[in-house]
């Protein structure tokens, strides 16, 4: 498996150092390093290849010692990261700096970037960081083992097959190849899938790629039709055939003659009308309500359902002969949770469609959306993106998400794996692990600030003094022994 890193640093020595670390610590050709020396070039590179890089290592001090060729001030690492994440929230960025101040940490964390590495580079720390981000890339971003060219070709093929389908997953690709194979066929198609998976889009794509594409596509939601008027809507009626029939009306079958009729929620069709629909499919003719003779039609029927029609047949709620008449070509649409590879592209499509250019989202929000199970499928995702588009906040944060999404993220598969590996059996185990992690963190971080007291260290770290005082005592950390003199401020530990 290959990972690609984009290093954004105006010091070529950093690039050489990183090259050496990769050569020594990773298998040959498993990690590829690309290098640009400015934030502007990084933005251009990511815009051209948004799905190529596993992680971006961004230097903060990009603008410290140079000018752009046009004399303008170059952007720094934070500004470059902000621009990149605004357009491509899936990009993983690690910030690096030789001068990690509190204000800088706050700025970076506000962008959703949670990892800082110090310069000069520390090989063990860097390797550990890269491996963790490679794992996140495999889990949340890498769709499958395809080249960038193959991914783009697949995405373009899906877009050409339909007007509205977004994705490049293996599942969606196979469905579109099936649609392509039906181009010269008039066979009836039964589309199955959960609500919100895009069954009507699939039906429209079948029509678009058929020899009937220049004729009408008529969509009918059977479940939304009134039972008393359903027969009239489907097959039409003559003037005066019932109270309120003040003029003749063509039914949906006649309206779609020569083209395609899409019957959504076909499982909701009452049994008495199922017999009439069966006759229409057998004879290719309809008899309007109040009519004296049948009318010939040339209509291709595509039906869709979110219920198990086979079970409905077993339960006596759907005619078996009609079921087989409709299911000449079965087409099952997978739920969005089963094609997570498409979620980043759907998010991007939602941003382009509903958001202003000023609006952005935290990277943590993006990761939560990718991990979420989406019971309402694509429709739920796009409705959320539209809702976020009209939200007054310029930046979408975790607290803007529904509680269900956050709760599910906390119970994600990665958490379950960690719990299994750590053998967590009780709350006491969780507390021990939390304390160990907290203690390791403080022992690693406290010496970096070199302050003479807990109070000044808390100020330097940007944390609450009471918290740090209690933590040092609770975790039995020898503060005076741990911290060292800081020559810059003349203080002693």
User: Which residues touch 421 (CB under 8 Å, ≥6 apart)?
Assistant: none
Beta bridge partners of 305: 192
Of 1, 328, 14, which Cα lies nearest the Cα of 144? 1
CB-CB contact of 37 with 7 (8 Å):
no
Helices (H), 209-270: 230-235, 252-255
Cα dihedral 393, 394, 396, 398 sign: negative
Q: Does residue 146 register a pLDDT over 80?
A: no
Average the pLDDT over each of 36-40, 267-271, 419-423, 434-438 and give the range with the smallest value: 419-423
As a whole number, the mean pLDDT across the chain is 84
- C-alpha span between 327 and 307 (Å, rounded): 14
Pick from 258, 269, 179: which is nearest to 223 by CA? 269
Q: Is the pLDDT of residue 471 over 80?
A: yes
Residue bearing the bigger pLDDT, 70 or 414: 70
Specify whether the backbone of 374 is left (phi greater than 0), alpha (psi in -120 to 50) or beta.
left
Residue 61 or residue 43, greater confidence: 43
How far apart CA 467 and CA 474 sit, in angstroms, is 10
Q: What percent of the chain has pLDDT over 90?
A: 42
Residues 181-205, mean pLDDT to the nearest whole number: 93
Distance CA 216, CA 251 (A): 13
pLDDT of 333 > 60? The answer is: yes
| pLDDT for residue 59 is more than 70 | yes
Lowest mean pLDDT among 69-83, 216-230, 267-281, 295-309: 69-83
Task: Judge if the upstream peptide bond of residue 73 is cis by omega within 30 degrees of 0.
Answer: no
Cβ pair 472, 451 in contact under 8 A: no
Integer Cα distance of 211 and 389 in angstroms: 39
State yes or no: pLDDT of 157 exceeds 70: yes
Instruction: Give the pLDDT of residue 121.
Output: 86
pLDDT at site 488: 43
Q: Apex CA 360: angle with CA 359 and CA 363, to 5°? A: 170
Which residue matches tokens 């600030």?
449
342 near 336, Cβ under 8 Å?
yes
- Lowest mean pLDDT: which of 322-336, 372-386, 428-442? 428-442
* Fold (topology level) of 3-140: Rossmann fold (3.40.50)
pLDDT: is 261 or 367 the higher one? 261
pLDDT band at residue 155 under the 50/70/90 scheme:
confident
Q: Hey, where are the domains in the chain?
A: 3-140, 182-334, 338-414, 423-482
DSSP secondary structure string, 117-173?
A: EESS--HHHHHHHHHHHHHHHHHHT--SS--HHHHHHHHHHHHHH-SS-----HHHH
Name the E strands within 254-398: 260-264, 285-286, 295-296, 300-305, 329-332, 360-361, 395-396
CATH (one of 3.40.50.300, 3.40.1010.10, 3.40.440.10, 3.40.50.970) for 182-334: 3.40.50.300
What is the pLDDT confidence band of residue 69, given thresholds at 50, 70 and 90? low
Answer CATH for 338-414 from 2.30.40.10, 1.10.357.10, 3.10.129.10, 1.10.8.60 = 1.10.8.60
Pick the more confident residue, 164 or 448: 164
Highest mean pLDDT among 247-251, 321-325, 403-407: 321-325
Q: Is the pLDDT of residue 482 over 70?
A: yes
Distances (CA, A) of 38 to 44, 57, 98: 10, 12, 17
Give the pLDDT score at 296. 93
Smallest Cα–Cα separation from 125: which of 57, 46, 28, 37?
A: 57
Q: How far apart are CA 154 and CA 173, in angstroms?
A: 7
Angle at 149 between CA 148 and CA 151, to 5 degrees: 65
8-state DSSP, 289: B
- Would you say the CATH fold of 182-334 matches that of 3-140? yes
pLDDT at 276 over 50: yes
Q: Where are the beta strands (DSSP E) in 297-455?
A: 300-305, 329-332, 360-361, 395-396
What does the pLDDT average to over 426-454?
Answer: 69
Contact 433, 469 (CB under 8 A): no
Mode of pairing for the β-strands spanning 295-296 and 285-286: antiparallel
Using 50, 70 and 90 to split pLDDT, how confident is the model at 429? low
- CA pair distance 186, 260, nearest whole angstrom: 9
Beta-strand pair 31-36/329-332 = unpaired
Q: In sequence order, what are the beta bridge partners of 249?
A: 237
């Amino acid at each position: 498996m290959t990972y690609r890193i984009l290093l954004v640093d105006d010091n070529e020595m950093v690039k050489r150092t990183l090259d050496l670390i990769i050569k020594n610590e990773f298998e040959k050709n498993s990690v590829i390093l690309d290098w640009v020396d400015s934030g502007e070039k990084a933005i251009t590179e990511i815009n051209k290849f948004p799905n190529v890089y596993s992680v971006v290592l961004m230097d903060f001090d990009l603008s410290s010692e140079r000018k752009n060729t046009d004399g303008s001030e170059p952007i720094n690492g934070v500004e470059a990261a902000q621009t990149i994440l605004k357009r491509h929230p899936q990009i993983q960025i690690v910030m690096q700096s030789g001068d990690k101040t509190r204000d800088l940490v706050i700025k970076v964390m506000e962008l959703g970037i949670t990892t800082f590495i110090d310069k000069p580079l520390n090989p063990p720390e860097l390797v550990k960081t890269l491996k963790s981000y490679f794992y996140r890339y495999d889990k949340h971003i890498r769709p499958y083992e395809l080249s960038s060219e193959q991914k783009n070709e697949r995405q373009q093929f899906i877009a050409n097959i339909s007007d509205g389908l977004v994705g490049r997953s293996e599942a969606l690709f196979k469905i579109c190849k099936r649609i392509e194979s039906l181009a010269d066929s008039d066979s009836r198609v039964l589309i199955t899938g959960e609500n919100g998976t895009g069954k009507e889009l699939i039906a429209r794509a079948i029509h678009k790629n058929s020899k009937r594409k220049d004729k009408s596509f008529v969509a009918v939601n059977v479940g939304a039709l009134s039972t008393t008027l359903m027969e009239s809507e489907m097959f039409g009626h003559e003037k005066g055939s019932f109270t309120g029939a003040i003029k003749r009306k063509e039914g949906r079958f006649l309206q779609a003659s020569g083209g395609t009729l899409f019957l959504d929620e076909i499982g909701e069709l009452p049994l008495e009308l199922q017999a009439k629909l069966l006759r229409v499919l057998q004879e290719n003719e309809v008899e309007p309500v109040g009519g004296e003779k049948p009318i010939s039609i040339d209509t291709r029927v595509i039906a869709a359902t979110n219920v198990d029609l086979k079970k409905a047949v077993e339960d006596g709620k759907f005619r078996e002969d009609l079921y087989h008449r409709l299911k000449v070509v079965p087409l099952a649409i997978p739920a969005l949770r089963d094609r997570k590879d498409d979620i980043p592209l759907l998010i991007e499509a939602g941003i382009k469609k509903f958001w202003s250019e000023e609006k952005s989202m935290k990277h943590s929000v993006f990761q939560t959306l990718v991990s979420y199970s989406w019971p309402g499928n694509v429709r739920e995702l796009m409705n959320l993106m539209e809702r976020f588009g009209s939200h007054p906040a310029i930046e979408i944060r975790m607290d803007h998400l529904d509680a269900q999404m956050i709760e599910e993220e906390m119970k994600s598969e990665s958490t379950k794996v960690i719990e299994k590996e750590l053998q967590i059996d009780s709350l006491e185990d969780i507390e021990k692990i939390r304390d160990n992690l907290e203690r390791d963190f403080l022992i690693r971080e406290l010496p970096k600030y070199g302050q003479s007291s807990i109070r000044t260290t808390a100020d330097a770290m940007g944390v609450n003094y009471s918290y740090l005082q209690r933590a040092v005592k609770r975790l039995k950390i020898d503060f005076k022994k741990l911290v060292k003199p800081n020559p810059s401020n003349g203080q002693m530990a």
